[in-house]
Every structure is written in structure tokens, then in C-alpha cells.
A and B are shown apart, each in its own frame.
Chain A
């Protein structure tokens, strides 16, 4: 049973994605018999290119995607470079956890509340300038995509920080820093010169995942990106949703273009890595101590804190709107408070909350079982999976969602599974499983093998060792992985939309739909619940082991 676990897991991830991609690529060349496309042609691509907004949609996707990735990477690196070893570093590690738990779309909605012309920041400015009506500038959904880039940074910087923290645990970074600093290097430059080159290989795939996400994002782009023309992702979604199905073919072409875009972007980034590495060697060999630039780097390293503050304010803004009775510009706070919006929405919220919870719990549970089976198989047989397995695991996070979800839906229709719970859970599993596996893998592989051997020599069978030794000892990482899986599932927008065939409403699909133009108080409630649900699970995952192990000193605190 255990032996086939890795095969089953990979097939579960790779087969549907491959089928989905085929189901998108074929229609992009005119082949989709169900809609009368029986011959291959370049028609869909011609239609796509002929669309008046195509040029700006493409440019927007590239600019926002690449800018968001480069900026997130730069900010995350500078933050670690300036804070490594400082007291703020631990606080930073604690502060990013809640941000990571919140869905992209919830943060984007809160962020829109902040930066809108009548948003909190404008009100703050108005209290200084004395303006009594919102300004005329477009701050949300601006044509240049600046709001979209900023919204992406809010989530991607903490994500990259987390990945860097994990990589730092794998190397003697503190020692390397001490040596470099004793040789006269400023702290930030020491980090960039001696630590970054060594951890980069471990954060490469996460960076590619960020690049893939930013280039093809749909939900955040719907909330913060320009609407006319939108970036490629929302454009493809709009065409897919065309009730007359006439735009199905160019939509498939747009989805495929995103995949091509991603492949090109990763190839370029990889080339850039080689160039930068070569230049970096020369730069390091020059021996500059970087003392003069240290103050600038220190200032830049504060940007992460600014982003965290913006995220916290976004959450607060959603909360305030949800209980605001009247909140006119330029008042800093609502002038009337009420729970009426909550009570009016309560009945309608129950169904999406239930769906969200059930979906997250079931997909997380399945992902945990599969991940554990793979890791246990690996441990028992003494296997050391290579980089190839890691790439396969990352596949769902690298391939643009819309590029395979569209095709997958066609496959689901043929299997008569579209709009079923099975399809929905599977579509969530695709994204939950990689995250659950990745967060569980390191702790599981680091279990002291001598403890396992000791247990075996005491006469415990592998099954007993699993249940009596490994699982209880791994309670903290297990719950943490479950919380991550839960949060990922809660935040999924496109998979829910496609696999559910629009029949299932979750908090996220509701919030994204409402963000288009509903009352801010109602949007606030949905976004707040969407953010609080995973936060609650994170809090439980953090607190439970400390309570369970309150009499076990070695396990009572997070290491």
C-alpha cells in the first residue's frame, strides 16, 4: 500500500494537469468537437490578436507579473539582509504567519478599502489637507496596474520571507555572517555576499511559483487590476464565461498564451540567474565592504514592515466597514456603528461558510494522508527523492491555473463529474497537497532516526512506531501543515469556479464577486470572514501543541 503512495500522489497531481492542458491547447487551435470545432486552425489566435485591447492586456500581464516578482524578491532579500540576527528578526517571523494565512483576495479587498480615492489613506490625507470630497485620481484598478502590483507584494513578500527563513535553517548562516562581519563587511552586504548565494538554490522554485502566480493571477487582478482592458487572466475568464460560448476558442488561446508567457519568463529569469551569478562573483571578489550603502539598505529593509502594517490596516478596514452604519468621507472612523449588516447577511453567509469549511477540511485531510504516506514510504525505504520529484510537486503551483482548469473542466464534463463535490475536492487537492507536503517534509525528514531505531529495537513494529512515536512527536508540524492546507483551500478562487461549475459558493468566490460593486459593508463581512477563518485555524494549530505538551519541556515551545 505504502509503496504505491508516491505514484498515486503524483498521478493525482500530474494526470489531471496534463489532461487539462491538452483540453486547453486543442481548442486554442480550433479543435473542440463539442462546440463544432472539428478542424485545426489558427483562427482562435487570430481572434485573440485582433482583440482591440490585446496589446495592453499582454503588456499589463507582463509588467505587473514581472514587477511584482522582482520587487517581492528584492524586498524579501533586503529585509533578511538588514534584520538577520537582529532582535526584530524573530518578531518578523512571528508577524508574517497571520498574513500568510489570509487569502490573497481578502487582503486585496482590504487593501482596496485602504487606497481607494475615498479609502482610509485618503481620509488620513484629507484630515491634514482639509479636503471634503474624494480626489479625482484613480488609485484602485489604475491602468498602469500599480495597485495590482502593490496588492501582490502584500502576500508575496511574506511568502518569500518564509521560504528564506526555512532555507536559513539549513545552513550555518550565523557563523558565515560573523566571519564576514569580522572581516569588515557591513551586515546587509555580508548577508547578500555570503548567505544569499548559498540559500538561493533553495528559494528558486518558490520564486518561480511567485512569478507564475503574478503573471497569471485572476482574483487579485479582478479586485485591484484595471477592468478595460484587463490583464490576460481576467480577460480569458471573461471570455470563458461568455454565455453564448462564442469566445471559448480565443479564451483558450489567451489561456495558452499565459502558459507560453510563463515558460518564457522562467527561461529569462534562469538566464538572469546565470548572468547575475557571474557578475556577483566579480562583485564579491572586488571586496567592497558596503559600509557607505548600509544606511540605504537599512531603510529599504523596512519596506517589509510597511507592507505588514498595510496588511494589518487592511484587515482592520474590513472589520470596521462590516460594523459601520454610516462612514462618510472624510471621517476617519464610522460615525454610526451597527451589527445590522451582520444579522442581515447571516442567513446568506451560512451556506458559503459551510461549503468553505467542508471543502477545506476534506481536501486538507486527504492531502495530509497522502503526504504522510509518501514521507513514511520514503523513510522506511531509506529513499532520498531528488530535485525532479520536487519539480513535479511544484507543477500545480507553476502552471497558470487558467491554462489547465479550463481544459480540466471539459474533461470533467465528459466524465460527468463537473459541478460535483468530487471534482471540487480534487481541484482543491491539487493546490493543497503541494503546500501540505512541503511544510511537512522538512520536519518529517528531520525526525531523529535514532529514536526510530530505538523504538524498533524495543520491539515496536513500523505501524506502532508511526502511531506511538512519530505522529505524536510531530503534532506541531502536523497541525501547522494542516493549517497551511486549510488556508490554501479557503483562498482558492478559480479552481472553485471551474471545477464547481459555478454551483458552489465559497466565501472567496462570494467575496470576489461582491468586490465588483456591492456595498462596502457587505464586502467587508465576506472578506473579513474569509480572512478570519484560516487565522482561527492557525491560532488553534499554534496553541494546541503547547497545551498538549505543557508537561513536556522539549516539545512545549515551537523550535
Chain B
């Protein structure tokens, strides 16, 4: 399932102004690479380009490979790149379990099997019995964890992190960082993190690229 994430000459420009100059980058399985840059430097746009959700106002060039397979021309839903944003973006009309079921790969079939898989993920995250809860009733830290579980259950081939720790307060931030990087490492996922917080980069533990 896991493998490498490779960027080949990825360049992003807005109205003729180059934000990200030709970038070559390989993230190995289980490795976490950090891209650091001030706001407006185009680092979030880069992640959007990788996912295939970039605003058409930007112009991008270059190629993206996941597991040796080029995904640059694929629609977002076929890229298998999981992404976490600063906000948890849980679907407000679904329960916690409903959100996880939305993410859970369709390869797992049967109501019972799917429910079991979701409950196991919740238990592992210290959220046992939360399946029926309304996401709006959870604390910020709990929602962040559900958001990560939702991504992981979709069995991505790489994990993209768009400043997902920024909204949490200091104590929670530590815990959630650990939680994210441990889960990614245990699955051998290549992780690409963008942030402007040095502490995030330290926690990621991998190479740091400054824009």
C-alpha cells in the first residue's frame, strides 16, 4: 500500500509570478519531509496541486508520482493522497462513525466488517464508543483525531499535512503531533508537511526544505 512520493520539477506560478520554483523531491516510505515557508509562499497551493484540487487561477508544471505511478493527470479521488487541513472539516451532517465510514475504503465489504473496522480505529485512538456522536459535540482535539482516522481508513499511499496543528492549543498540539507521526510511521506512509512552525518540523524529524 505504501511507497514513495516523488515530485519532479514541480513549479507553481500565479499571474506570471513564480511562487514555487522547480522543485524536485522524494519522500521515502515512513519518512516525513517538512516544507517551511511564510504565509503566501504557495506551500498550501503545492499540496493542493499534489491532491488535484488546486485553484485554476494558479499555473502549475511538473509531475507527481506515487509508488512509481504518475498521478498528475488523475482526478483527486483516484490519487490516493490523504490530506489533513488546519480545520478538521468533518462533515456536519454525519455522525463520527458516518464520517469514518465515508473515508473507509470500499474494499472492506459488509456492514459488520466495516463497523468493526471503524470501532477498532476509534478504540485505538482512545475514542471508544464515539461512533454515534455528533462531531459538533466533540472537543477540538477529539475532532482532529477523528479527521486523521478518516484519512487513514481511506488507505492513502501518502499523507499530506497542511498545517494541521495550527488550530490546537499548545498542550493538545504536542499530543496530536505525536499521534499523527506515530500512525504515519507505523504504516510506513511517506509524509509531506507544510508549516511555518519550527516545532512542527522538529516533531516530523525528517529533512526540512525552506521556501
- CB within 8 Å of B: which residues of A? 382, 448, 450-451, 453-462, 468-469, 472-473, 475, 549, 551-555
Q: Give the interface segment out of B59-67, B81-89, B179-187.
A: B81-89
Quote the shortest CB–CB distance from A28 to chain B (angstroms). Answer: 48
A461: chain B residues at CB < 8 Å are: 77
Give 19 pairs: A residue, B residue, CB < 8 Å, sorted on A: A450-B85, A453-B51, A456-B76, A457-B53, A457-B79, A457-B81, A458-B102, A458-B150, A459-B105, A460-B102, A469-B91, A472-B93, A551-B95, A552-B92, A552-B93, A552-B134, A552-B136, A553-B134, A553-B137
A554: chain B residues at CB < 8 Å are: 92, 136
Task: Give the docked Cα–Cα distance between A453 and B87 (Å).
Answer: 13
Cβ A473 vs Cβ B92 within 8 A:
yes
By Cβ-Cβ distance, the 6 closest A-B pairs, closest first, are A553-B136, A456-B76, A554-B92, A453-B53, A472-B93, A458-B154
Task: Give the docked Cα–Cα distance between A552 and B151 (Å).
Answer: 22
In the complex, what residue of chain B is closest to A472 when comparing beta carbons?
A: B93
B105: chain A residues at CB < 8 Å are: 459
Given A382-B56, A453-B53, A553-B136, does the pair A458, B93 have CB atoms closer than 8 Å? no
B196 at the interface (CB under 8 A from A): no
B154: chain A residues at CB < 8 Å are: 458-459
Task: Give the docked Cα–Cα distance between A469 and B48 (Å).
Answer: 20
- CB within 8 Å of A: which residues of B? 48, 51-53, 55-56, 75-83, 85, 87, 89, 91-95, 102-103, 105-106, 134, 136-137, 150-151, 154
How many cross-chain pairs have Cβ atoms below 8 Å apart between A and B? 76
Within 8 Å by CB of A455, from B55, B87, B102, lies B102
Cβ B76 vs Cβ A468 within 8 A:
no
A448: chain B residues at CB < 8 Å are: 89
B85: chain A residues at CB < 8 Å are: 450, 454
B151: chain A residues at CB < 8 Å are: 457-458
Quote the shortest CB–CB distance from A42 to chain B (angstroms). Answer: 55
B55: chain A residues at CB < 8 Å are: 382
A455: chain B residues at CB < 8 Å are: 91, 102
A462: chain B residues at CB < 8 Å are: 75, 77
Given contacts A451-B91, A457-B79, A459-B106, 7 further A-B contacts (CB under 8 A): A451-B89, A453-B76, A455-B91, A456-B76, A458-B82, A462-B75, A551-B95
Cβ A473 vs Cβ B91 within 8 A:
yes
Quote the shortest CB–CB distance from B165 to chain A (angstroms). Answer: 17
